[in-house]
Amino acid sequence: MFSFPGQSSKIEDKLFPQKSTTKINGRLILWDQPQLMGIVNLTPDSFFEGNRTDKSADKLAILIRKHITEGASILDLGGYSSRPGAAEVSEQEELDRLMPAVEYITKNHPECIISIDTFRSKVAKETIKAGAHLINDISAGDLDPEIITTIAELQVPYIAMHMRGNPKTMQKKTNYSDILGEILYYFAEKVEQFKKFGINDVIIDPGFGFAKTLEQNYFLLRNLHHFRSLSMPVLVGVSRKSMISRALDIEADSALNGSTALHMFALCQGANILRVHDVKEANETLKLYQTIYP
């Protein structure tokens, strides 16, 4: 029977079953269907201008309602830009950007899962105490080792992303002898480390655009199904990234069509979460995917 390149077979499902549930805020999230994570950038210098917001309550409320209405079950709040060359911000400034959003969502949209995009243990602790539900760490604990013990103490799910170096140095660290094997080994070691600390609810993110060349990004995307061997939910964040704009010679604000194409491919490769700027279009893609593969 014909299958989409990389689409898992029933044999692969039995050999490498992905973690079927994740406990988030007392609820068991089933991964039998992919979920959409809407991006809420609370920074003034996000790479995609169309998704930037500020601490204005009105603008924030509009974006959050829009994401939820259009189909996002998770909102990922970021107060620290990780794009190359982004300005450094203090922990307090990051918290000042995040806390109003956490408080607003907790009060007005209690059904929504709140993810905090941070690598700092203090920011993680304060936002979880304020009502957030999980932490999305671009460094998987490498930039602030204390975040691992913090996650263990808080007993919240942890999204661990692969990156070398930091946002300022990562694009100088793209020399791999076997990129797929090295990243799979990296996550296998990380998951083992997390388990020793009592962190069992882990989601992995291959880190598209972080310490990867254009060619390496697409190689990983073609081979995304191999991450099933880790038996963890897989998050894919390719929305409007430079791997699209560079390949098509366009700007990020013109990369919606390219994002949609890659989102469909990622779903066919077994992605469990799509982290997106454009929830409506991603939700339409997800519905079509579910129609093709009911």
Q: Tell me the pLDDT tens digit for each residue of 126-150.
A: 999 999 999 999 999 999 999 999 9
Is 80 exceeded by the pLDDT of residue 12? Answer: no
Token pair of 259 as six digits:
């994002």
Is 50 exceeded by the pLDDT of residue 4? Answer: no
The model's confidence at residue 54, banded by pLDDT at 50, 70 and 90, is low
What does the pLDDT read at residue 1? 29
Mean pLDDT of the region 227-235: 94
pLDDT digits (tens, 9 = 90+) for 77-125: 999 987 666 678 899 999 999 999 999 999 999 999 999 999 999 999 9
Distances (CA, A) of 132 to 42, 88, 152, 201: 15, 23, 15, 15
- Is residue 228 part of the annotated active site? The answer reads no
**Which residue, among 174, 167, 254, has the nearest Cα to 219 in the 3D structure?**
174
pTM over 0.85: yes
What does the pLDDT read at residue 7? 53
Burial of 175 (0-12, 13-18, 19+ CB in 10 A): exposed
Q: Which of 120, 212, 240, 275 is catalytic?
A: 275
- Is residue 125 part of the annotated active site? The answer reads no
Q: Which of 27, 52, 241, 287 is catalytic?
A: 241
What does the pLDDT read at residue 176? 97
35-39, 52-56, 121-125, 238-242: the lowest-pLDDT one: 52-56
Mean pLDDT of the region 248-270: 96
Go through the domains of the chain in sequence order and give each one's CATH number.
Answer: 10-15+33-292 (3.20.20.20)
pLDDT digits (tens, 9 = 90+) for 58-81: 888 999 999 999 999 999 999 998
Asked if 188 contacts 230 with a C-beta cutoff of 8 angstroms, the reply is yes
Is 50 exceeded by the pLDDT of residue 47? Answer: no
Is 80 exceeded by the pLDDT of residue 196? Answer: yes
| Dihedral sign of CA atoms 78, 82, 86, 88 in order | positive
